[in-house]
A and B are shown apart, each in its own frame.
Chain A
Amino acid sequence: MAEPGPGLFARWRRWAARRLVWGVGTVLVGMLLGTAWLQARLDGLIGQAATLADNNITWSFFQLEAEFQALQNALRALPTDRPAPPELAARVRERYELFVSRITLVDPQQVHAELPGTPQHLATLRRLNAFVQRADPWLSDQVSTPLRPADIASLQADLDELAMPVHGLSLMSSQMTVRRGEQRDRALHEHQRTTLALTLLQALATIGFALLLMQQLRAASRRQAELAELAQGLDTARAAAEVANESKSVFLANMSHELRTPFNGVLGMLSLLDDSRLDDTQRRSLRTARESTEHLLALLNDILDVSRLEHGRLSLHLAPVDLAALIQAVQTVMAPAAEAKGLALTVQIEPGAPGAVVVDGTRLKQVLFNLLSNAIKFTDAGEVTLRVAPVTARPGTRAALPGQQWLAFQVRDTGIGIDAATRGHLFERFMQADASVTRAHGGTGLGLEISRGLARLMGGDIHVDSRPQQGSEFSLELPLSVLTGLPGPAAQADLAPAKEARHLPRPLDVLVAEDHSINRQYVGTVLERAGHKVRFADNGAAAVAEAERALPDLVLMDVHMPVMDGLSATRALRAKPAPLGEVKIVAVTADAFETTRERMHDAGVDGHLTKPFMVPELEALLLDLFGEGGAPPPAVVPPARTTPSPAAEKTVRTRSSGPLPALDVTNFGELCGLLTPAGVRPLVTSFFADDNQIYASLVAGLERLDQELPALAHRFKGAAQLLGFQALAAQAEAIELRVAPWTTEDAEAAASELHRAWASAEKLCRRIGFIG
Chain B
Amino acid sequence: MRVCRICFSFSVLAMRHHLLSRRQCLVGLLACGAARATDAGAAPPLATPQSKVVLSISGQVTRTNAPDRADFDLDMLAALPQHQLVTHTPWHQGAQTFTGPLLRDVLVQAGASGKLLVAVALNDYRCEIPSEDATQFDVVLARLQNGEPMRVRDKGPLFIVYPFDSDAKLRSDRYYARAAWQLRNLIVQP
> Bound complex: CA of A53 vs CA of B174, how far in Å?
11
CB contact between B152 and one of A56, A63, A98 (< 8 Å): that residue: A98
Question: Which of A106-114, A266-274, A645-653 lines the interface with chain B?
Answer: A106-114
Question: Which of A44-52, A394-402, A615-623 lines the interface with chain B?
Answer: A44-52
CB-CB contacts of B136-175 with A at 8 A, as 1s and 0s? 0000000000000001111100000000110010010100
Interface contact B88-A104, CB-CB below 8 Å: no
CB-CB contacts of A30-53 with B at 8 A, as 1s and 0s? 000000000000000000011111
A50-B88, A109-B93, A111-B93 as given contacts; A101 in contact with B176, CB under 8 Å: no
Interface contact B171-A49, CB-CB below 8 Å: yes
> Bound complex: CA of A607 vs CA of B181, how far in Å?
124
CB contact between B90 and one of A63, A98, A101, A111 (< 8 Å): that residue: A111
Q: Is B60 an interface residue (CB 8 A)?
A: no
Most buried by A among B92, B152, B153, B181: B153
Interface contact A113-B90, CB-CB below 8 Å: yes
Q: Which residues of A contact B165 (CB under 8 A)?
A: 50
Interface contact B90-A112, CB-CB below 8 Å: yes
Interface contact A50-B123, CB-CB below 8 Å: no
Interface residues on B, range: 20 to 34
CB contact between B153 and one of A50, A53, A70, A101 (< 8 Å): that residue: A101
- Shortest distance between the CB of B114 and any CB in chain A (Å): 28
> Bound complex: CA of A570 vs CA of B52, how far in Å?
144
> Bound complex: CA of A94 vs CA of B89, how far in Å?
24
Q: Which residues of B contact A142 (CB under 8 A)?
A: 151
A49-B171, A98-B182 as given contacts; A110 in contact with B93, CB under 8 Å: yes
Q: Which residues of B contact A56 (CB under 8 A)?
A: 90, 173, 176
Interface contact B153-A97, CB-CB below 8 Å: yes
CB contact between B155 and one of A55, A94, A101 (< 8 Å): that residue: A101
Q: Is the interface of A mostly helix, strand, loop or mixed?
A: loop
- Shortest distance between the CB of B145 and any CB in chain A (Å): 12
> Bound complex: CA of A109 vs CA of B93, how far in Å?
7
Q: Which residues of A contact B91 (CB under 8 A)?
A: 52, 105, 110-112
Q: Which residues of A contact B66 (CB under 8 A)?
A: none
- Shortest distance between the CB of A678 and any CB in chain B (Å): 108
Q: Is B78 an interface residue (CB 8 A)?
A: no
Q: Which residues of B contact A109 (CB under 8 A)?
A: 93
List A residues 96-139 near B (Cβ within 8 Å).
97-98, 100-101, 104-105, 109-113
Interface contact A98-B122, CB-CB below 8 Å: yes
Q: Which residues of B contact A67 (CB under 8 A)?
A: 123
> Bound complex: CA of A55 vs CA of B173, how far in Å?
10
A56-B173, A98-B122, A101-B182 as given contacts; A51 in contact with B90, CB under 8 Å: yes
A52-B90, A105-B91, A112-B90 as given contacts; A98 in contact with B176, CB under 8 Å: no
> Bound complex: CA of A49 vs CA of B90, how far in Å?
9
> Bound complex: CA of A52 vs CA of B89, how far in Å?
9
Q: Is A141 an interface residue (CB 8 A)?
A: yes
Interface contact A50-B151, CB-CB below 8 Å: no
- Shortest distance between the CB of B43 and any CB in chain A (Å): 32
Interface contact A50-B152, CB-CB below 8 Å: no
> Bound complex: CA of A142 vs CA of B149, how far in Å?
13
| B173 to chain A: closest residue by CB | A53
A50-B88, A53-B173 as given contacts; A101 in contact with B152, CB under 8 Å: yes
- Shortest distance between the CB of A151 and any CB in chain B (Å): 20
> Bound complex: CA of A70 vs CA of B124, how far in Å?
12
Q: Which residues of B contact A111 (CB under 8 A)?
A: 90-93
Interface contact A141-B151, CB-CB below 8 Å: yes
| A50 to chain B: closest residue by CB | B88
| B172 to chain A: closest residue by CB | A47
CB contact between A97 and one of B152, B164, B173, B181 (< 8 Å): that residue: B152
- Shortest distance between the CB of A594 and any CB in chain B (Å): 86
List A residues 1-53 near B (Cβ within 8 Å).
49-53
| A99 to chain B: closest residue by CB | B153
Q: Which residues of A contact B155 (CB under 8 A)?
A: 101
> Bound complex: CA of A53 vs CA of B177, how far in Å?
11
A98-B123, A111-B91 as given contacts; A52 in contact with B153, CB under 8 Å: no
Interface contact A50-B164, CB-CB below 8 Å: yes
> Bound complex: CA of A56 vs CA of B89, how far in Å?
13
Q: Which residues of A contact B152 (CB under 8 A)?
A: 94, 97-98, 100-101, 141
List A residues 188-204 near B (Cβ within 8 Å).
none
> Bound complex: CA of A70 vs CA of B35, how far in Å?
45
> Bound complex: CA of A622 vs CA of B122, how far in Å?
134
Q: Which 8 A-B pairs have the closest CB atoms?
A: A97-B152, A100-B153, A52-B90, A101-B153, A50-B88, A97-B153, A98-B123, A112-B90
Interface residues of B (CB under 8 A from A): 88-93, 122-123, 151-155, 164-165, 168, 171, 173, 176, 181-182
Interface residues of A (CB under 8 A from B): 49-53, 55-56, 63, 67, 70, 94, 97-98, 100-101, 104-105, 109-113, 141-142
- Extra pairs beyond A49-B88, A50-B88 (14, CB < 8 Å): A50-B90, A50-B165, A52-B91, A56-B173, A56-B176, A94-B152, A100-B153, A101-B182, A109-B93, A111-B91, A111-B93, A112-B90, A112-B92, A142-B151
22 of the cross-chain contacts (CB-CB < 8 Å) are A49-B88, A50-B90, A52-B91, A55-B173, A56-B176, A97-B152, A98-B123, A100-B152, A100-B153, A101-B152, A101-B153, A101-B154, A101-B155, A101-B181, A104-B154, A105-B91, A109-B93, A111-B91, A111-B93, A112-B92, A113-B90, A141-B152
